[in-house]
Chain A
Amino acid sequence: DAKTTQPPSMDCAEGRAANLPCNHSTISGNEYVYWYRQIHSQGPQYIIHGLKNNETNEMASLIITEDRKSSTLILPHATLRDTAVYYCIAFMDSNYQLIWGAGTKLIIKP
């Protein structure tokens, strides 16, 4: 599985868009990009995933660059409840072993 690189921490003001970057320069053509988040004292929660095209759901948007070497998770209107560690994972469809990194600790400030 491709290795992903994320900043260790980020701040964002409440109500603003939170943009979380992820680099996956060694990603292969059949590896999806998955995003999970883990709120303190809870298990990780699936957010969104994509392969090549940009994706949007009720939680977030995922923007993947054309060369697929990086992606950005966008939380359009961050709230205090979005404070969490966000994990970006490159994941092959045939391999159930998600390789978890350290993630980005996102702090939403009032």
Chain B
Amino acid sequence: ETGVTQTPRHLVMGMTNKKSLKCEQHLGHNAMYWYKQSAKKPLELMFVYNFKEQTENNSVPSRFSPECPNSSHLFLHLHTLQPEDSALYLCASSQDLWGEKLFFGSGTQLSVL
């Protein structure tokens, strides 16, 4: 148990669907992150939030829309995804933005049909 909970663990969606991934951290951390891990590829940073404010968007397509209503919750809204978006989506948190170790959730395994 890392203190970071992601739901759902698995998700299958069609290309016209709209779905959301949820992440909650119980660690009192101030920074939260979305990462994408495709098969046989390194982790890729997608979005970064610090004190609920987005500080980084690593050229992620607009079909991925993050939301951070407070420091404990992070969402990733998905719409009109492509099959190549199938991947493991990982949420992480850290105490603050600089030099702190990351705590990861178990991820959502997403399949886009």
Contacts and interface: CB of A to CB of B under 8 A. Distances in A.
A and B assemble together: yes
B61 interface: no
B103 A46 contact: yes
Contacts of A41: 106-107, 109
Given A43-B104, A43-B107, A93 B98 contact: yes
Given A96-B31, A100-B43, A101-B42, A43 B98 contact: no
Contacts of B105: 43
Interface stretch (B12-20, B62-70, B71-79, B89-97): B89-97
A91 B90 CA distance: 20
A97 B102 contact: no
B106 A42 contact: yes
B48 A43 contact: no
Contact of B48 (A94, A96, A101): A96
A101 B40 CA distance: 11
A107 to B, nearest CB: 17
A41 to B, nearest CB: 7
B45 interface: yes
B98 A102 contact: no
Nearest to A103: B42
Interface string B22-54: 000000000100000000001111001000000
Interface of A: 32, 34, 36, 41-46, 49, 91-94, 96-102
Interface of B: 2, 4, 31, 42-45, 48, 56, 90-92, 94, 97-99, 101-107, 109
